[in-house]
Amino acid sequence: GAGVSQSPSNKVTEKGKDVELRCDPISGHTALYWYRQSLGQGLEFLIYFQGNSAPDKSGLPSDRFSAERTGGSVSTLTIQRTQQEDSAVYLCASSSTVNEKLFFGSGTQLSVL
């Protein structure tokens, strides 16, 4: 696609529910990243994909968080048993390959009530 697409743009959920966030990177981009931005804060790295593999998952905050990427394209970030501290904007970014110019999507605003 023309840009990095994320869905949904907003998600409101109840504490304890599972959520899935989707990222569709720029076509042909092999590197894909997930970041999290809490209100008024910086960008916190979560996970990095090269193709379908995730060489670096070091930023995932707990085992409630998982992510996968299929077909070297779409990625899904899943948060199980959501907690209020999970509320944040979840940002996806892609680049043609590692260490190239990074392009961000518009993010998913997650609110856990």
Partner 1 sequence: GIQVEQSPPDLILQEGANSTLRCNFSDSVNNLQWFHQNPWGQLINLFYIPSGTKQNGRLSATTVATERYSLLYISSSQTTDSGVYFCGGSNYKLTFGKGTLLTVNP
Q: Which residues bind partner 1 (CB under 8 A)?
A: 33, 41-43, 45, 48, 56, 89, 91, 93, 98-104, 106-107
| DSSP bridge pairs for 104 | 93
**Complex with partner 1: residue 80 or 96, whichever CB lies closer:** 96
- Minimum separation from the CB atom of position 34 to partner 1 (A): 10
Which of 52, 54, 53, 80 has its CA nearest to residue 65?
Answer: 80
- Minimum separation from the CB atom of position 1 to partner 1 (A): 16
- Minimum separation from the CB atom of position 91 to partner 1 (A): 7
**Complex with partner 1: residue 74 or 102, whichever CB lies closer:** 102
E strands, the chain, are 5-7, 10-13, 19-24, 31-37, 44-50, 53-56, 65-69, 75-79, 88-95, 103-104, 108-112
